[in-house]
């Protein structure tokens, strides 16, 4: 059912040209390298990957904070990569971003009430009073006291600021919220509060989330489906529980095997697969499969031939010549 898909990205590519410091040399960095993704209405689509995998750049492209280099992004059936600023405006209301850093993403010179009201003022929805009523509602919704409206961001803790950021993103009743590492700056107990809040809001407001994080546990907890990124590409996409239980891509498998887990049951732990080295420089991408220099099962074929993301009968998508843990 095509109208089940709220957001569809096709072959999204984003490159940056870096002028290398004093030498003045130019380098082209491909941060996102041909990503396809489909986000279904009402679901949480998790994107997980290590730093430098391009997940944050992808997030900014998805909300058109940065133009894509090529590819298309369809939101509710409309390709938003070709829209003018003016034509984008009504759509942007439905498409909101929650930022990673609750300290840097709120203007320190404005009261938090104003911060939450701003999107509504800019888009001229309702009268002054209506807007202030709505701000009050939003505060209650995210679990903040209305009496805080006239305070400034520095008076709040990290968790409270992230609640304010969420309230701001919800002020225009979006249908899709893209959250880029919304809890990674928070202490674990506060992180749990924010995650629970986001889950409650999703149910109450029937939101669709794209949830981007590096923490594999957090992504499993929030997501219905998960995409794993490596060096600007989706290497595996699938149902969250299936993917975590039976990863097919060697990168996913290794990633999951090395997450330190609580030692609270006698259940056997995953066998640790240590992958060596660091993520390569995205301006100097390995040939063939980008993961092959670190892959424990790579062969000659992987050095030459770039695997494409193929859909298996189970619905899982994986970009690997030698997918693992297939039950046949």
In the complex, the smallest distance separating the C-beta of residue 207 from other proteins, rounded to whole angstroms, is 18
Shortest approach of other proteins to residue 191 CB, angstroms? 7
Residue for token digits 């391009």? 54
Least distance from other proteins to the Cβ atom of residue 94, Å? 28
Only one of the segments 19-27, 78-86, 117-125, 301-309 lies at the binding site for other proteins (rule: CB under 8 A); that segment is: 19-27
Number of residues near other proteins (by CB under 8 A)? 51
- Distance between CA atoms of residues 314 and 255, nearest Å: 22
- Nearest distance from residue 205's CB to other proteins, in Å? 18
195 sits near other proteins (criterion: CB under 8 A): yes
279 exposure class (CB count in 10 Å sphere: 0-12, 13-18, 19+): middle
Q: Of the ranges 35-43, 114-122, 130-138, 185-193, which one interacts with other proteins (CB under 8 A)?
A: 185-193
Nearer to other proteins, 17 or 188 (CB): 188
Q: Which stretch binds other proteins (CB under 8 A): 32-40, 133-141, 219-227, 308-316?
A: 219-227
The tokens describing 138, both together, are 């939003």
By the rule CB under 8 A, 254 interacts with other proteins = yes
Q: x/- binding map, residues 258-277, to other proteins, per CB under 8 A?
A: xxxxxxx--x--x-x-xxx-
Rule CB under 8 A: is residue 192 a binding residue for other proteins?
A: yes
Going across the sheet that includes 5-20, the strands are 25-40, 5-20, 70-75, 78-79
Is residue 196 within the footprint of other proteins (CB under 8 A)?
A: yes
Applying CB under 8 A, does 191 fall inside the site for other proteins?
Answer: yes
Q: Which is nearer to other proteins, 32 or 194 (CB)?
A: 194
β-bridge mates for residue 311, sequence order: 317
Please choose, out of 9-17, 84-92, 105-113, 255-263, the segment that lies near other proteins by the rule CB under 8 A. Answer: 255-263
Is residue 321 within the footprint of other proteins (CB under 8 A)? no
With binding defined as CB under 8 A, does residue 215 bind other proteins?
Answer: yes
- In the complex, the residues that contact other proteins under the rule CB under 8 A are 20-25, 50-51, 157-160, 187-193, 195-196, 199, 214-218, 220-222, 240-241, 244, 254-256, 258-264, 267, 270, 272, 274-276, 278-279
């Amino acid at each position: 059912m095509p109208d089940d898909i709220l957001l569809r990205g096709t072959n999204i590519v984003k490159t940056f040209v870096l002028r290398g410091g004093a030498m003045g040399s130019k380098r082209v960095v491909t941060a996102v390298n041909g990503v396809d993704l489909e986000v279904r209405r009402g679901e949480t689509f998790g994107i997980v990957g290590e730093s430098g995998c391009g997940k944050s750049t992808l997030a900014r492209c998805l909300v058109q904070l940065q133009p894509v280099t090529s590819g298309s992004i369809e939101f509710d059936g409309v390709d938003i990569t070709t829209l003018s600023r003016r034509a984008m405006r009504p759509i942007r209301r439905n498409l909101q971003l929650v930022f990673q850093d609750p300290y840097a993403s709120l203007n320190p010179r404005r009261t938090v009430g104003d911060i939450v009201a701003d999107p509504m003022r800019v888009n001229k929805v309702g009268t002054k009073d209506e807007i202030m009523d709505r701000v009050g509602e939003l505060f209650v919704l995210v679990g903040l006291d209305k009496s805080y409206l006239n305070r400034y961001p520095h008076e709040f803790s990290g968790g409270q600021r992230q609640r304010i950021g969420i309230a701001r993103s919800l002020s225009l009743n979006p249908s899709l919220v893209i959250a880029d590492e919304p809890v990674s700056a928070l202490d674990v107990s506060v992180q749990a509060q924010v995650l629970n809040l986001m889950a409650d809001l999703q149910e109450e407001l029937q939101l669709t989330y794209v949830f981007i994080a590096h923490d594999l546990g957090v992504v499993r907890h929030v997501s219905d489906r998960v995409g794993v990124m490596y060096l600007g590409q989706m290497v595996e996409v699938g149902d969250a529980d299936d993917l975590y239980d039976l990863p097919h891509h060697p990168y996913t498998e290794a990633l999951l095997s090395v997450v330190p887990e609580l030692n609270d049951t006698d259940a056997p732990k995953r066998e640790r697969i240590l992958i060596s080295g660091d993520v390569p420089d995205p301006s100097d991408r390995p040939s063939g499969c980008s993961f092959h220099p670190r892959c424990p099962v790579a062969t000659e074929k992987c050095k030459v031939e770039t695997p494409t993301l193929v859909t298996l009968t189970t619905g899982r998508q994986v970009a690997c010549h030698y997918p693992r843990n297939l039950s046949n």
